[in-house]
Amino acid sequence: MNFLNNKNILVTGGTGSFGKKFIKNILTSQVKKVVVFSRDELKQYEMKQEFSDNRLRYFIGDVRDKDRLYRAFEGIDYVVHAAAMKHVDACEYNPFEAVKTNINGAQNIIEAAIDKGVNKVIALSTDKAAAPINLYGATKLASDKLFVAGNSYAGDKGTRFAVVRYGNVVGSRGSVVPFFKKIQHTGRIPITDERMTRFWITLDQGVQFVINSFDRMIGGEIFVPKIPSMKVTDLARAVAPDCQLDFIGIRPGEKLHEVMITEDDARHTVDFGTYYVIQPEFPWWSDRASEKNIFLNDNFKYSSDLNDDWLSVEQLKQFIKE
């Protein structure tokens, strides 16, 4: 994390699961200042009790409010954009609110970063942005497109934008593991479909991947980590082995399998060994792509059901324990 030495970094959604873990990690570096930007004063108060580092600053604000972002971005070198409406059901029921936060908020971040001279911005995405079937995924796809295009919008001003896309973070707020643990005393675990698969990534892995992506980015990339898959039924057996599984049917807007790289994206995606990069289709990008990297086949699709790496029930038990 040497690139953070004597730098100021801001995290939108800084009191969320990812934000808190990311901030905890970067405070071990020689970062100069960390700004926690979020709209929940209670969560900021609770975070102040947990963290006692004088490099932390707390800003109450909403990404919908461009004026507040302009104030918060003064003197900031790097931004991690983790704020979003991310619950599928809430977005379906409150569609205009999801658009205001996930799309309009993205535009506000881009414009404020360019105008205030921020060096680099990484926005967090989701597997649901690849071939979206629900409003949350559609808003995040629009957000991804905005951040990629933001590099052209910035012109020669120097601000660069990239996106990190991965699946559900196990153990984060609202994820299925805490839910399974909460209801295991009933002796029954509801599963929407016995065929359902998901990518698996821990919070620590997600945070480290974002940190690495800051160091790697040129501007315009969508970074996708190579991570293992799991069957949701195996996860339920790992969390609550004595419970009966009830198959209740797929909910509206829910996918059977996660997709992070579609076949159409694969045509301009490069394999970097431990991760993929969906490259932007800018006329200037080809001059920056390394010839020794491996481009994917046209029919490639990075989906949780087509993965080569799978976690067993025993491996899932060990991850949950850790």
Question: How far is it, in rounded angstroms, from Cα 223 to Cα 274?
Answer: 11
Q: What is the SS3 assignment for the chain?
A: CHHHCCCEEEEECCCCHHHHHHHHHHCCCCCCEEEEEECCHHHHHHHHHHCCCCCEEEEECCCCCHHHHHHHCCCCCEEEECCCCCCHHHHHHCHHHHHHHHHHHHHHHHHHHHHCCCCEEEEECCHHHCCCCCHHHHHHHHHHHHHHHHHHHHHHHCCEEEEECCCCEECCCCCHHHHHHHHHHHCEEEECCCCCEEECEEHHHHHHHHHHHHHHCCCCCEEEECCCEEEHHHHHHHHCCCCEEEECCCCCCCCCCCEEECHHHHCCEEECCCEEEECCCCCCHHHCCCCCCEECCCCCCEECCCCCCECCHHHHHHHHHC
Residue 133 lies in a domain: yes
200-to-93, 133, 246 alpha-carbon distances in Å = 27, 21, 22
**Residue 139 sits in which domain range?**
2-167+201-226+267-298
Residue 79 lies in a domain: yes
The CATH number of the domain holding residue 157 is: 3.40.50.720
Residue 249 lies in a domain: no
pLDDT at 288: 53
Q: Are 14 and 20 in contact (CB under 8 A)?
A: yes
User: Which two three-digit tokens encode residue 194?
Assistant: 């016995």
Question: How far is it, in rounded angstroms, from Cα 241 to Cα 247?
Answer: 16
Active site residues: 128
Residue 18 lies in a domain: yes
Q: At what angle do helices 313-321 and 232-239 cross, to 10 degrees?
A: 50
- The pTM is what? 0.93
Residue 294 lies in a domain: yes
Strand partners of residue 169: 201
Per-residue pLDDT of the chain (322 residues; tens, 9 = 90+): 899 999 999 999 999 999 999 999 999 999 999 999 999 999 999 999 999 899 999 999 999 999 999 999 999 999 999 999 998 889 999 999 999 999 999 999 999 999 999 999 999 999 999 999 999 999 999 999 999 999 999 988 999 999 999 987 876 666 788 888 889 899 999 999 999 999 988 899 999 999 999 999 999 999 999 999 999 999 999 999 989 999 999 888 888 999 999 999 999 999 999 999 999 988 776 545 555 567 788 889 999 999 999 999 999 988 887 7
pLDDT at 178: 81
Q: Are 167 and 226 in contact (CB under 8 A)?
A: no
CB atoms within 10 A of CB 219: 21
Q: Are 166 and 227 in contact (CB under 8 A)?
A: yes
Residue 93 lies in a domain: yes
pLDDT at 291: 55
Q: What is the total count of domains within the chain?
A: 1
Residue 193 lies in a domain: no
Residue 304 lies in a domain: no
pLDDT at 292: 59
Of 63, 80, 35, 76, nearest to 208 by C-alpha is 80
